[in-house]
Amino acid sequence: MKRVQRDRDEMAFSEIFDFFAPKINAYFIQNRIKIESSEELTQEVLSAVWVKSNLYDSKKSAFSTWIYTIARNKKIDFFRKNSKINFVEEDIREFLYQDREIDLIEESEAKKQIERINNELDEQQKIIIKMNFFENKSHKKIADELEIPLGTVKSRIRQILTKMQEFIK
């Protein structure tokens, strides 16, 4: 490896390649990677060894440790790229909405609840709720815009939400 680092010696690299290529290829195959892909990954590992040879430090690790670390990282990248998450949208929907009686409120009932909440909240409360939940503004941003203390904004939102929960019951 020193000759590769120092002189970019292709013959020295060829020796490294001949020695490690079968071992790295076997490593990938043992990790359930098909032969075609394992050969490609082996090429990538050894190309990285050539390109990054200046990064190897014999004081930090053995050369075999360094090369297998590169191989392990290539393996992880390979699995990340090739993992396919198979799901059926209907299964997800069924899981999310199973046993959810609250989701079955009739539309007219929901409209009545919204209308009741709208009638019960004063203008200042409506503004705070709109800013927080519909405009996604932080409590700090609301306090700054309305020129009221941050603690006041937080307590008002808490009071409004408590009030709204009572309406829905």
| CATH code of 123's domain | 1.10.10.10
pLDDT tens readout for residues 84-116: 655 555 665 565 555 555 555 566 676 777 788
Structure tokens at 43: 């090429």
Give me the amino acid identity at 66.
Answer: W
Radius of gyration, alpha carbons of the chain? 31
Instruction: Point out the domain boundary residue: 82, 97, 113.
Output: 82
Look at residue 16 in the predicted model and tell me its pLDDT.
95
**What is the number of H-type helices and E-type strands within the chain?**
9, 0
Q: State the CATH number of the domain containing residue 24.
A: 1.10.1740.10
Domain that holds residue 151: 105-168
Instruction: Point out the domain boundary residue: 27, 51, 82.
Output: 82
Structure tokens at 109: 């009932």
Neighbour count for residue 33 (Cβ, 10 Å): 21
- Whether residue 112 sits in one domain with residue 49: no
pLDDT tens readout for residues 24-71: 999 999 998 999 999 999 999 999 999 999 999 999 999 999 999 999
Spatial CA neighbour of 140 closest among 153, 129, 127? 153
> Which long-range contacts link 126-130 to residues 24+ away (Cβ below 8 Å)?
128/153, 128/156, 128/157, 128/160, 129/157, 129/160
Give the C-alpha separation, 59 to 62, whole Å: 8
Give the C-alpha separation, 105 to 42, whole Å: 59
What is the number of domains present in the chain? 2
Assigned domain for 100 exists: no
- Whether residue 47 sits in one domain with residue 8: yes
Look at residue 111 in the predicted model and tell me its pLDDT.
74
